[in-house]
Amino acid sequence: MAKNSFFECEHCGYKSRKWLGKCPDCGSWNSFIEVKEQSKKINKRSLASNLSSPKPINKINSAEYSRIDTGIEEFNRVLGGGFVPGSLTLLGGEPGIGKSTLMLQISNNIAVKGQVLYFSGEESPSQIKLRAERIGSINQNILLSGEVVLENIVEQIKSVNPLFVVIDSIQTMFSSELTSAPGTVSQIREVTTRLLFEAKNSGIPVLIIGHITKEGAIAGPKTLEHIVDTVLYFEGDRFQSRRLIRAIKNRFGSTNELGLFEMTSKGLLPVGNPSEFFIGERPDDTTGSAIVCAVEGTRALLVELQALVTESAFGTPRRMAIGIDINRLHLLLAIIEKRLDYLIGRDDVYINVAGGLTINEPSVDLGIAFAVVSSFLNKPLDKHTVFIGEIGLSGEIRSVSAINQRLNEAANLGFKKAIIPDTREKIDSKVNRKIELIKVKSLKQAFDLVF
């Protein structure tokens, strides 16, 4: 190895002076590549001139952002109202899930107000035009470029001075000042950092697209989350039509918002009523099906929970959960067996959140318990009843937040009954007139009223 080089892990960026077979940080094998060090001279005089003196916090002017509307309400919701000038946004997701399609639609909407510069290192401009024609996103203010060299990209941004910039994708861009290959950790960090400085200096919002696997193993987005202002993740199965966008990090808005889209031949269409979308395919008189209400950011969502309890063919029962935490399922099964005397511990239990949504809040505990016992007893639940409540270890039903918002969403979709915690929180009188409320203090009391 040359004296002016080192070895770097392609997956996590761990550096070592010698080659290693296994990365001590991420555990990947044969992932170290040799990278030559770059000797850069720092101009101390120019660096000192850029330093600002500290000021009292009460004398610093608060910045007011005039956001750029994306033209898609669901995407604006996740961002917090639109793109902030000078911000750097990362959109991560699996290959083929629809990131480029969504960015073309957003670029077409923004191009009505000004020029959009779209850099594509994966597809040629002619390929992008074919997709744009298919989804109806043809606008002369969308400028396509196949440039992948960072220095040339920065020059084009300065010369065009667009309203919005898209980098598709960050894994294909590279700096000529580094000797490592495109897609490596060092290249991705260097390109992203330079784009961040360019966005802040010019006030132009920049969005970069990064590919990840289901495990998040590719080095792109995971190593950039601390650099960018906003991190968005595109979720969903590319073989189905549903798509979800979550904000993992957002310096200019909430990180709890959720955007829901449907993939069609004309591109991604926002879903105006997510609750109806998630429970629209619910079958009638089916055991193991319960409706719960979860809150994502400022939005209440009605979701169907499906449970299947079958006799185990082996000595050790199997547990599987899709859309909820498997450890939460184990905990609830233990509570059900202890407090209700249902011998579920010897059976296989499967739980699924219909629609591909992931729910992490404990307000769906009551719905999970009813779905499991419904399948275990082979008795269907009332299709017009919604279940809301957290279950404690002693079998008590605990209160949840935003109860009025949840009940109002259920009432608007035609639900007649709601089993909720016996909480001291005041229920809105308008909600009381729309839906029958059944307040319970314990899990046993709830099951005695239903079964």
The reply to whether omega before 62 is within 30° of 0 (cis) is no
b/e sequence 42-79, b meaning 16+ C-beta within 10 Å: eeeeeeeeeeeeeeeeeeeeeeeeebbbbbbebbbbbb
Q: Is 99 annotated as a binding residue?
A: yes
Range with the poorest average pLDDT among 8-12, 391-395, 413-417: 8-12
Q: Is 93 annotated as a binding residue?
A: yes
Question: What is the pTM for the complete model shown?
Answer: 0.78
Question: What pLDDT score was predicted for residue 139?
Answer: 93
- What architecture is domain 69-272? 3-Layer(aba) Sandwich (3.40)
Residues 99-121 pLDDT 10s: 999 999 999 999 999 999 999 99
The CATH number, out of the four listed (3.30.230.10, 3.20.20.140, 3.40.50.970, 3.30.365.10), of the domain defined by the range 277-450: 3.30.230.10
Of all residues in the chain, the percent with pLDDT exceeding 70 is: 92
Question: What pLDDT score was predicted for residue 108?
Answer: 95
Residues 211-266 pLDDT 10s: 875 555 444 556 788 899 999 988 877 677 888 898 889 998 888 788 889 888 88
Question: What pLDDT score was predicted for residue 38?
Answer: 60
Q: Is 97 annotated as a binding residue?
A: yes
Question: What pLDDT score was predicted for residue 378?
Answer: 94
The yes-or-no verdict on residue 307 having pLDDT over 60 is yes
Q: How many CA atoms lie within 13 A of 412 on its CB side?
A: 14
Average model confidence (pLDDT) for the chain? 87
Question: What pLDDT score was predicted for residue 84?
Answer: 93
Residues 334-392 pLDDT 10s: 999 999 989 898 899 999 998 878 888 899 999 999 999 999 999 999 999 999 999 99
Residue 380 · residue 286 · CB < 8 Å:
yes
The yes-or-no verdict on residue 430 having pLDDT over 80 is no
Q: What are phi and psi of 369, to 5 degrees?
A: -60, -45
End-to-end CA distance of the chain: 73
Question: What pLDDT score was predicted for residue 43?
Answer: 46
Lookup result for tokens 């902030």 = 84
Q: Where are the domains of the chain?
A: 1-43, 69-272, 277-450
Residues 84-96 pLDDT 10s: 999 999 998 888 8
Q: Is 312 annotated as a binding residue?
A: no
Residue 204 · residue 161 · CB < 8 Å:
yes
Q: Is 100 annotated as a binding residue?
A: yes
Given pLDDT bands bounded at 50, 70 and 90, which one contains residue 49? very low
Q: Is 146 annotated as a binding residue?
A: no
Question: What pLDDT score was predicted for residue 37?
Answer: 67
Given pLDDT bands bounded at 50, 70 and 90, which one contains residue 3? low
Question: What pLDDT score was predicted for residue 214?
Answer: 53
Residues 130-147 pLDDT 10s: 999 999 999 999 999 999
The reply to whether omega before 169 is within 30° of 0 (cis) is yes
